[in-house]
Amino acid sequence: MKVGKRSPKDGTRTRRHRGGLGKIGKKVGDGLKDIGSRKVRIKWPQPIKKLFSPADIFTLMNFICGVSSVMLSMDGGNGFRLALLLILFGVIFDGLDGPVARRFGPSRKFGVWLDSIADAMTFCIAPAMLLYEMFNQKGTGPLGVLQTAVVVSASLSIAVLGILRLARFSITHHRFKDFIGLPTPAMAMIVVGFCSLHFWSAPQRADWAFDLLTSGRLLVVPLILLLFSFAMVSDVLYLKLRGNLLVGTGTVLLMMMAGLIVGEKEPKLGLFATIVFILSGLTYLVSPMFKGPKNIWGASKRLKAEELSKEIAALEGETALDREGPNEL
C-alpha cells in the first residue's frame, strides 16, 4: 500500500489500495467523511434548543409526572393519592403532545425518542413502583413470602412488559392506525384504578369491604394485575379511541381525577369514581372479544395482510395508468 499526495481540491490524503484510489480523511465543516469510494454523513451534536419543539414540552411534563409519582409513592400515606393523580395527569399530557405536534410540527426523531422515554417512566415504572409500595407489606411466614413474591412479580411484569410493548411500538414507526397489544397508558390506568380501590376502601377512609379486592386482601389485586400485564405484549388488536369513545373515556378520566382530589374530604365520592373508572378500564381490556373469537389473535398478520393488499392495489393502479399512456388534450 502506498500513500499518495494530498489532493489539491479538498486537502484530504489519498491512499492507493487493492480496490483502487480512494480518499481517507474528512473535509472539515461539511459533515461528510470519505471512506474509500463511499461518503458517510456525520451527524454532529446539535443544541437542545434546535431539537426541541412545542410538542416536546408536553412530553417532558409527562416525564415529570412519572418521576414525581415514583417519589410520592415512596412516601406512602396521602402520597399514594397524589401519585395516582400524577399518573393520570401524565395520561393527559401524553394525549396532548400528538395534536400539538400536528399543529406546530414534530421534532423528528428527537421527539419520538423522548416520547418513548417519558411513556416508560410514567406508564411502566411509576405504576410498578406504586403497586409495590402499596401492596408489599413484607410479612413473615409462608403467606407473607408468597405475597411478596406475587407483588414483586406483578411490579416487574408491568415495568418490563410495558417497556417491551413501547419498543415494539417504536419500531413500527406508528404506521398502524390501531394498537397491537394493550397500550401502556391503558394498563397504567387499570393499575391506578385497582390501587385507588385499595386506597379508598381502607377503614380510615370509606371503610368499604368487598371480598377479595379491598384493603384486607393484599394478594388478589397484584395477581390480577400480573395476569393483565401480559395483554401489553399480546397479538391482540385494540382500537384507538376516536370520536365518542374518546370523549367518553376523557369524561371518565376527568371524573376519576376529580374523585382523587375531593376524595380527601369525601372518601365515598373517590370510591364511587374509582368503581366507574375500573369498569371502564376492564371494558376496554376485553373489548377485542366483542368482535368474536376469530378476531382476537393474529392481529399483526391481519394488519400486514391489509397493508400488503393496499400496496398491491396501488401498484396495480400505477400499472394501469402506465398502460393507458399520457392523455392528449
DSSP assignment of 220-239 equals HHHHHHHHHHGGGGSS-EEP
CATH number of the structural domain 48-299: 1.20.120.1760
Work out the average pLDDT over 227-237. 90
pLDDT digits (tens, 9 = 90+) for 186-216: 999 999 999 998 888 876 776 666 666 665 5
Closest CA to 190 of 133, 232, 144: 232
Neighbouring-strand partners of residue 180: 237
The pTM assigned to this predicted structure is 0.76
Range with the largest mean pLDDT of 26-30, 94-98, 101-105: 94-98
CA distances (Å), origin 112, targets 45, 119, 173: 17, 11, 9
pLDDT 10s digits, 159-186: 999 999 998 887 775 556 778 889 999 9
What's residue 104's pLDDT?
75
CA 1 to chain CA mean position, Å: 53
At 181 the pLDDT is 87
Q: What residues does CATH 1.20.120.1760 cover in the chain?
A: 48-299
Q: Which residues pair with 25 in a beta bridge?
A: 34
Across 231-243, average pLDDT: 86
pLDDT of residue 324: 55
User: What pLDDT is recorded for position 198?
Assistant: 86
- 256-276: pLDDT as tens digits: 999 999 988 888 888 899 999
Q: How confident is the model at residue 126 (pLDDT cuts 50, 70, 90)?
A: very high
- Closest among 241, 166, 155, 163 to 191, alpha carbons compared: 155
Q: Cell numbers for 283, please give them.
A: 371494558
